[in-house]
Chains A and B, each alone.
Chain A
Amino acid sequence: MSELAAAEHGHDHYDPEANKLGFWLFLFTELLLFGTMFIAFAMYQDMYKIEFIEGTHHQNIILGTVNTIVLLTSSLTMALAIQALRRGLKTLSIAYMAFTIVCSAGFCVIKFIEWSAKYHKGIFLLNENMDTLPKGEQVYYGLYFTMTGFHAFHVLVGALLIIWVMVAVAKGKVHAKRLSFIDNVGLFWHLVDLVWIFLFPLFYLIR
């Protein structure tokens, strides 16, 4: 066993380019995952133009805009955290990441406020009031809760990953010569941002 372990340890080369390539391929699966839901959105938007505009009018555009800015800012600080670590500034990098996590928490709180406002209006999944709405609006809200729900789930996972990489940076496992982990977490975080860049106008701004 030990001989095998020793020999297999030899397989464990650190190859940042391979790690990056592999992670991008994983991101493609994420893109297609959201992309499929965007296909559904596009087809129903085409079928129910008026109902979708009616649904958009029930969105809180201020909260949506604030959330967009929060997420864009968190994306900036994540990029800066990686840039700082690349220059060898460990503490600064950790501080940037901490700020990123605060932003992601802020995003989730605002999302929660929006969802609960809808909940109190009787607009929520499994709510009987939903059945009284026109067909297209039901699909609009179904898509809204599904897609923003999936996105919020990715924000949470991303935040957990950032906490994990923060610990790794603090322990010195991730440093200027071994950036793959933090690079890939950063890519994931930017992807979450990318998805929101499309979700926001489609659900809030097509009036």
Chain B
Amino acid sequence: MNPDSKNFYEVARGLTSWLFTTDHKRIGILYLICVMTFFVIAALLGITIRLELFSSNSEAGGSLLGGGEIYNRILTLHGVIMIFLFIIPAIPGVFGNFFLPIMIGAEDVSFPRINLLSWYCYIIGAALALFAILSGAIDTGWTFYVPYSAKTGANLILPLSAAYMLGWSSILTGINFIVTVHRLRAKEMKMFRMPLFVWASYATGWIQVIATPVVGITLILLLLERFLGIGIFDPTKGGDPILYQHMFWIYSHPAVYVMVLPAMGVVSEIIPTFSRKTIFGYSFIAWSTMAIAAIGSLVWAHHMFTSGMADESRILFSFLTFFVAVPSAVKIFNWLATMYKGSIHLEPPMIFGLIFVLLFSIGGFTGLMNGTLSIDIHIHDTAFVVGHFHYTMFGGVGVMFFGALLYWFPKMFGRNYNKKIIYLCGFLFFVGFNMLYGTMKWLGIQGMPRRYADYVPEYEFWNRVATVGSWVMVGGLFLMIFHLLYSVFKGSKAEDNPWEGTTLEWQTTSPPPLVNFNEPPQIPEKPYDYPEEVKS
């Protein structure tokens, strides 16, 4: 390695060198700053929701927030920020941008300027969304269901255009990843030599390209319905509101795979690295990634079981929903088989990888319960559903966002963090998480509805447990975020390959130079191939 070469931070300084950069690594860092900021805001809002639910108002003391309306706005804000501004862009925007080109031995993505444009779409969308929710109450929830959303007096232009902009940000990122994978792989980097995180980003790109336009046009039709009365969703003119729900979920269900596939990709990087063992069933994981992307597009109407659809159709969608579990289970078993007889190093990223496998499995099983038509009728719109999607989205994607951050932190910033502090944070997070969302599932089965600001006193004990859990969990997370922030500036210098990783990003310097590699990287025959001496 050439010690004189400057890393990508050092080649230029100043704000404009960041705001007008087309370097994929810098765009990744830009995303990281935004995504982290929004995560902290939304986590604080979540804490506020739990505080309101700490006690049942019907006893004594009254409502903390002084009424349901503020509670509804905070709830909507928490959901919108977490979904659109954190989970969807988090892993593709930060780690996809930063590492996808490096992992396939490319200098940059195929369309660097469009990459920057996608970040600006994200920023504009974020600004519009925040402004919309702060300037007036959105009383439709994040799904904007008709006919109410076509009639409500609330101003929907801002939130709808925000969703549209964020959709474009997502599409542009997806296009960039697909083309980069097809065109910019290094010569010996065949499709089936690519690291699994690249496969996951590739599949995600496809969902983004195919599904996002559907919701884009749906939102535009909703605006036209409001202002021009086109009647497509208006029952008084012959329109069908359930069609809106179909169109909405044709995107919004595959969107959960946009969120979770990259997280699974990161797990597939972390587990072989810290087991010092070749991943078990590489091509099965690669294909199951594509299978999830495909089957995930067939199941959207399981969100609509109580909407008045045809019975036959409901049974069909319930049936199809079970199939999504198959490729997910393939991945889980392959990860476990990878660890079997491996030389497991319980470094912080591996701890988070294991937390992912456990929590996501629990979330997956409760997902099957939700997908079962007869059970779903009972638990629809209860706290059980809230518990379920927090296990998959937060316990899955959120955990893996932090897992990826811990895994690639030395590479991105060239610094180390204090492992002991991270172990403590991981422990607090895990305990608090299960106190919070595990109890929510229990409450939901007992019949506690979601989205309500109040409940009958019988639910109070478990709600208090959940609220205490939220403090423990967020305490652990915030401690980790502040420690990592501190380590960016004060941590000790990191080596080029602290985890003995085999993928290409570990062959370059920490942090990488502007062109990613000072010397052409060595492409291994198989990804995650560990020689015998490292294994023992």
Give chain A's interface residues, CB within 8 Å of chain B. Answer: 1, 3-4, 7-8, 10-12, 15, 17-18, 21-22, 25-26, 28-30, 32-33, 35-37, 39-40, 43-44, 47-48, 51, 125-126, 131, 134-139, 141-143, 145-146
B479 within 8 Å of A (CB atoms): no
Pick the contact of A138 from B12, B231, B247 — CB < 8 Å? Answer: B231
Per-position 1/0 for B175-187, Cβ under 8 A of A = 1101100111000
Q: What string of 1s and 0s marks CB contacts (under 8 Å) between B203-232 and chain A?
A: 000000111111011100100100011111
Docked-complex contact B238 and A11, CB < 8 angstroms: no
The one of A7, A15, A36 that contacts B214, using a Cβ cutoff of 8 Å: A36
CB pair B247–A135 under 8 Å, yes or no, is no
- Chain A residues lying within 8 Å of B114, measured Cβ to Cβ, are 22
> Whole-angstrom distance between the alpha carbons of A8 and B514 in the complex?
9
Say yes or no for B112: interface residue by CB 8 A criterion.
yes
Report which residue of A10, A40, A135 has the largest number of chain B beta carbons within 10 angstroms of its beta carbon.
A40
| Nearest Cβ on chain B to A184's Cβ, whole angstroms | 12
Q: Are A36 and B213 in contact (CB under 8 A)?
A: yes
Residues of the A chain whose Cβ atoms lie less than 8 Å from the Cβ of B176: 22
Check B183–A21 contact: CB distance below 8 A: yes
Asked if B23 is at the interface (CB within 8 A of a chain A CB), the reply is yes
Hey, which chain B residues are within 8 Å of A139, CB to CB? 231-232, 237-239
Interface residues of B in 223-267 (CB under 8 A from A): 224, 228-232, 237-240, 243, 246-247, 250
With A25-B178, A142-B230 in contact, do A32 and B238 touch (Cβ < 8 Å)?
Answer: no
A138–B230 alpha-carbon span in the complex (Å): 8
Given contacts A39-B247, A135-B237, contact A18 B110 (CB under 8 A): yes
Secondary structure type dominating chain A contacts: helix
Question: In the assembled complex, which residues on chain A have CB atoms less than 8 Å from the CB atom of B224?
Answer: 146
Q: How close is A38's CB to chain B, nearest CB, in angstroms?
A: 11
Chain A residues within 8 Å of B250, by CB:
36
CB nearest to B12 among chain A residues = A4
**Pick the contact of B243 from A40, A48, A145 — CB < 8 Å?**
A40
Nearest first, the 6 A-B pairs at minimum CB distance are A135-B238, A4-B12, A142-B230, A142-B231, A32-B213, A29-B213
A-B contact pairs, 25 of them (CB 8 A): A4-B23, A8-B21, A11-B107, A18-B183, A25-B209, A30-B213, A32-B210, A32-B213, A37-B221, A39-B246, A43-B240, A44-B232, A48-B238, A125-B228, A134-B238, A136-B238, A137-B238, A138-B231, A139-B231, A139-B239, A141-B231, A142-B230, A142-B232, A142-B237, A146-B232
A123 to chain B, nearest CB (A): 13
